[in-house]
Structure formats: C-alpha cells, structure tokens
Structure 1
C-alpha cells in the first residue's frame, strides 16, 4: 500500500500535521493554491507566560487572490530576531531547550523570502529532526495539474503517485466524496489526533500548540508516542 497526504504548508505546525507525515509515504506540500488569511500558513501558537500566544511571519501584499508560492516574506530585520527572542524567552527553562533552539534558529535564518520555499524548508528540517523519512514534494514543482480544482486535483495527484490510500486531517471529511476515491481504487482515510498530555510551562495542559512546544518539552527521544497518538476514521 502506498499512502499520500496533501496539505498546505504551515508555520511550525502542530503535532497533527506531523501525524500526516508519519502515516504517509509521500507528503505533498500544496503550495500552489490560494493563500488563506488568518489561517496557520504564516502563524502559530506557543506558550507565552503560561498562555497560548501567536508568533507571526509578516508577509508582503498577502492576499487570498494570490497563491502561496507567489507571496513574499517581509525583510528579516522586521521579524527574525523578535520571533527567535520570543521562542527563547518562552522556553529557556524547558528540558530540551538546548537541543531544539538551534533548530529553530536555523529555520528562521533560512535566507529565502519566498513564502512557500521558506515553509517547505522548515517542514523538511523538522521532519529530519524528528526522524520522519516520508518523501516531501511541493505540488508546484511536480504534477502540472493546477488547472484542476478541489477533489479532482487531489485524485490526479494520487494517480500520478500510484497511491492506494489518501490520508487527510479529520477536518477535511466534508471536502471529499468517498465514492469518487473508491471508484479510483483509493482508500480514503482521515486522521483524528488524540492529544497526549505532556508537562508544559503552564499550569494546565494546552493542546494543539506549535510542534516547537512539544519538542521543547519532550525532545526527539520522547516525540514518538505523540506522533503515533491518532486514530483512523
């Protein structure tokens, strides 16, 4: 069985994103679809003073009428040092701080102002750090099917990859027709994340934060059970 997952690139995404990578043989970064305002493409949450707080990658002329790979990141002097300082201040007492902060620094110092390429680089860097061997493919560079839309494009990518299973997050259930996948010989599955509590800097466990929160607290040695904490629907 060959499994494919397809998802827009997000900034330092939460654990459920990485569960899709773990469950798939090929993870397609959907970078030539329209940008989504106030979503997770250029922002995420970390624990700041015991409360979830946003870190945001500032963009130039971002619009939902433009594709993700057409958008540029603001000059680094406007955000890079400030974001790194926020992460450092939030997690300097975390048990795996010394292991994880250099990775965050390498990600934020990546010298490419194309949003899609910056996010693809950090997804690959984080996957390598966590030992995920999934093949990662930007949709804009391979499939040549941007003229297709919605479900038909997903099915075409699956066909081109020779996939027998397509995996999506639980929230995508309303987007797809199971019969269309069944007719194509593709098993349609959805992942339901089961948040596995771990010790945080806050008073109570806060799920669905950036993967940086998880890694700061459990490190690479402890990340395995959290990656595997999901069910198929």
Structure 2
C-alpha cells in the first residue's frame, strides 16, 4: 500500500494533489502543531494579472495549538468575492466556482475538518479516488517525532511505500525507512503551463487557478506529470 501524509493545506498547488493521487491512502496530519505564517491557511491566486496571496481567516490561531484545535471564521464572503471578481471570465469558472463556493460555506468550522472537506471536495471534482483519513482518528504513539513518527504511522497502516513531497529529501532517510521494510519515494513535480487569460503565465499558483483555466481531463494529465525518485 502506498501512503502519503501531509498537513492540511487550503487550496494548495497542484503538487499536493499529485501526491494524493499517487497514493492509495492519504493521511491528513491534523494533530500536529499549527505553523503560523506557513501554508496551512494561505496560498496564491491570480488577481489582475499578478500573483496575489489569499488567506483563510482564522480565529484562535496560535503556534501553541494543534491544527485541529483552531477554528475558521464563519464568514469568508470577502475571499469568495475576490475569487469571483478574479476568475468570473475564466473558461471553467462556472463548474470550479461552484466547488469553491461549497467549500467556503462548509458548516464545520474546525480548521482541520474545514480544510479536509475542501481536499475531499476537490478530489471528488477531479475524480481522484484515494482514501483520505485523519491522523487524529488513529491510535498511535504521539510521543514520537519527525521521521520516527512517520515510520510508526506507516507501519500501523501496513504501508510498504511512503511517498513524500520533494522537499522531504532533507528530512527523511531512505535507509531508515528500508530498515522498517518501507520504500521511501519523493514526488518530483514537472513544470506545467496553461493559458491564464492573456497574461504571461504565472506558475505554481493554487489548485484554484488550475481549475479555473483547465478541464478535468486536462488537469488529470497534469496530475500524472511527475516522477517518483
């Protein structure tokens, strides 16, 4: 079984969804420390032809709390309006905006569940059938840290392959995983490009941008455009 584990990121870039699609099971790592100023609740979109950072507004956000101990503000209408005005002339706006609207109107305001729901919604839209679970639902040794905890979770889930984002090369050691009978792989995302109105292409924006300008079939071709190393 191929396993991937990531903190919940709100509307992340396409590489995050490549990781999900490459795995049989994707574990949302929601019972770890919230990183303030990280990528859990923010990303980039296109606004007036430029790269623009958007934020999911939170309440009670603190680096002293776990991700699943933080809440989302109940009113995200400002963000929804910004997305509408930025993309309402995009070729796939109608179908993509419907997904985003449902995501931002989700009733459960727990940050982990809110973002988890957004990931599940987008996976359903893109026809990604990977099993998605929450780390907080597992009985495990929470005293472990870093690589040892990832190996521990992988063994609990009977994973024989663990796939991580390319940035994990500095964090995880293939030999340590091999000793636990787990094959460690890193996903290397190839550069993708597509038409963004009449602007010069700006890469690595949110999956939101990808959905606005590409069909589901085109996005799935991008999702398969990677290498495991």
* Shorter-chain TM-score tier: over 0.9
Question: Are 1:63 and 2:62 matched, yes or no?
Answer: yes
What TM-score do the two structures reach when normalised by structure 1? Answer: 0.95
1:219 to partner: Cα distance: 2.4
1:202 to partner: Cα distance: 5.5
Q: Deviations 1:174-210 (Å, cap 9, x if unpaired)?
A: 1112111010111100011112111113521111111
1:52 to partner: Cα distance: 0.9
Instruction: Provide the C-alpha distance between the structure 1 equivalents of 2:186 and 2:146, rounded to a whole number of angstroms.
Output: 17
Q: Is the 8 A contact 2:13 2:207 kept in 1?
A: yes
Counterparts of 1:111-130 in structure 2, within 5 Å, are: 111-130=107-126
Secondary structure of 1:191 counterpart: strand
Instruction: Provide the C-alpha distance between the structure 1 equivalents of 2:11 and 2:195, rounded to a whole number of angstroms.
Output: 20
2:152 to 151, 156, 160: 156
Instruction: Provide the C-alpha distance between the structure 2 equivalents of 1:50 and 1:31, rounded to a whole number of angstroms.
Output: 34
Query: Counterpart in 1 of 2:186?
Result: 190
Instruction: Provide the C-alpha distance between the structure 2 equivalents of 1:33 and 1:118, rounded to a whole number of angstroms.
Output: 16
Query: Counterpart in 2 of 1:137?
Result: 133
What TM-score do the two structures reach when normalised by structure 2? Answer: 0.97
Aligned residues: 229
In structure 2, do the counterparts of structure 1 residues 62 and 202 end up closer, same or farther at CA, with 3 Å as the change threshold? farther
Instruction: Provide the C-alpha distance between the structure 2 equivalents of 1:64 and 1:81, rounded to a whole number of angstroms.
Output: 26
Secondary structure of 1:198 counterpart: coil
Secondary structure of 1:192 counterpart: strand
- Structure 2: gaps (5+ residues): none
Secondary structure of 1:38 counterpart: coil
Q: Deviations 1:127-181 (Å, cap 9, x if unpaired)?
A: 1110001000110112433222111110111101111110000011111121110
- Structure 1: gaps (5+ residues): none
Query: Counterpart in 1 of 2:50?
Result: 51
In structure 2, do the counterparts of structure 1 residues 202 and 31 end up closer, same or farther at CA, with 3 Å as the change threshold? farther
- CA RMSD of the aligned region, Å? 1.1
